[in-house]
Structure 1
Amino acid sequence: MTEVLENRLRAIEDKLAIYELIASHPPSADTGHAAYTLSVYDEDGVFDRGPTLDGAKGARNIAAFIQRPEHDEAIRGGLAHFAGLPLVDLRGDQAIATSYLMIIHLDHQGLPRELPNHGVSTGYRIHRTVVNRWELERRDDRWIVKKRTLLPVDGSAIHQNLLRKALDEKYSF
């Protein structure tokens, strides 16, 4: 009985740690906090942004993405990454987490609108919605990112296959 409870508690702790890791990505990306990226990616980690965007290999190169002048310009323009709750598939010291991410920014060309008790805003625009596959490994009692695949939700088979794969692997269909 004790071993069963310990295993259940370990699974809960693992999922919470993975949720926190993924939930920390938007604040780090939206502030250009490269030290966070360096701390969560494997030194040989992979950031695969699909067939239409450049990617990177290695924690330092991945962290460099959020230090680009273009990224800083996006941050200053009102960039916000909005993450959905991930589907987590625990596999001992390995895990796969699949999630959605919306890239939102302040709509500088929108018409000013007032919302009672919330002031005036030109609104926000959803720039892109993507699917993420986070391939994770437990190391020294913490989870690190071995590979992150990010694909645009564009109606293509490639992003739908990534989502299907997550369900098939998690639930063994």
Structure 2
Amino acid sequence: MDDMTATFASMLERIQAIEDRLAIQSLIATHPLSADTGAPPLLERIYAEDAVFDRGPGLSGATDRNAIIDMMWCEPHRQAIAGGLAHFGSPPLIELDGDKASAVSYSMLVTPDRDGEERELPNHGMSTGYRIHRVLVNRWTLSRIADDWKIIARKIAPADGAGPALDLLREWAH
């Protein structure tokens, strides 16, 4: 292989990696919107059919895409949405391995503080503010399926400085 061919092949590999990272970032960035709407078509688009969602101790999880959709469309979750639930996610750290990838990120669940003291922010009106309900560590497993990246598994744990969340972070840092 001559230098020009090797350079071109290297550029193609780097461009593919960039495209894959952007696709995965977009996929993970879609998750908060899917959780805050419970929209089945959006959930169908981001999760693989056999996806697993492990929500950690004390919370029910789901073992396939239909179960994930049911969980996000159940009455208690719709009540949380109606109450102003908002998920915020950090940019993920992504590790690519061909058509497989893993990522780690943080997410935060925020809700209106209906019991908070009303205060004014100049040029932004009055508000009782918001409260952070939970901060989570997320471990994502992803795969390219039919030219699209899909979530294969998501495991979360409260970011409490110990236990499962710390294990997820340490596993990533290997």
TM tier, smaller: over 0.9
Q: Please give the residue correspondences for 1:20-99 in structure 2 after superposition, counting only pairs within 5 Å.
A: 20-99=26-105
Q: Count residues in correspondence.
A: 168
* In structure 2, C-alpha distance between the alignment counterparts of 1:129 and 1:24, rounded to whole Å: 18
- Give the stretch that moved more between structures: 39-48 or 107-116: 39-48
- Give the stretch that moved more between structures: 128-137 or 34-43: 34-43
Question: Which of 128, 139, 146 matches 1:133?
Answer: 139
**Which one has the largest radius of gyration?**
2
TM-score (norm 2): 0.94
Q: For 1:90-139, what per-residue CA distance to the aligned partner results, in whole angstroms no more than 9, with x for missing partners?
A: 01110001000000000111011100000001000000000111100011
Deviation at 1:157, TM superposition (A): 2.6
Deviation at 1:155, TM superposition (A): 2.4
| Conserved? CA contact 1:35–1:63, under 8 Å | no
Superposition RMSD on alpha carbons, in Å? Answer: 0.9
| Conserved? CA contact 1:43–1:58, under 8 Å | yes
* In structure 1, C-alpha distance between the alignment counterparts of 2:126 and 2:82, rounded to whole Å: 19
Question: Which of 143, 149, 159 matches 2:165?
Answer: 159
The alignment status of 1:10 with 2:8, answered yes or no, reads no
Question: Which of 116, 123, 126 matches 2:122?
Answer: 116
* In structure 1, C-alpha distance between the alignment counterparts of 2:140 and 2:164, rounded to whole Å: 16
Which position in structure 2 is the counterpart of 1:101? Answer: 107
Q: Which amino acid aligns with 1:115?
A: L
Gaps of 5+ in 1: 169-173
* In structure 1, C-alpha distance between the alignment counterparts of 2:10 and 2:72, rounded to whole Å: 42
Question: What secondary structure sits across from 1:137 in the alignment?
Answer: strand
Q: For 1:56-113, what per-residue CA distance to the aligned partner results, in whole angstroms no more than 9, with x for missing partners?
A: 1110000111111111111111110000010000011100010000000001110111
| Conserved? CA contact 1:90–1:96, under 8 Å | yes
Deviation at 1:158, TM superposition (A): 1.6
Q: Percent identity?
A: 49
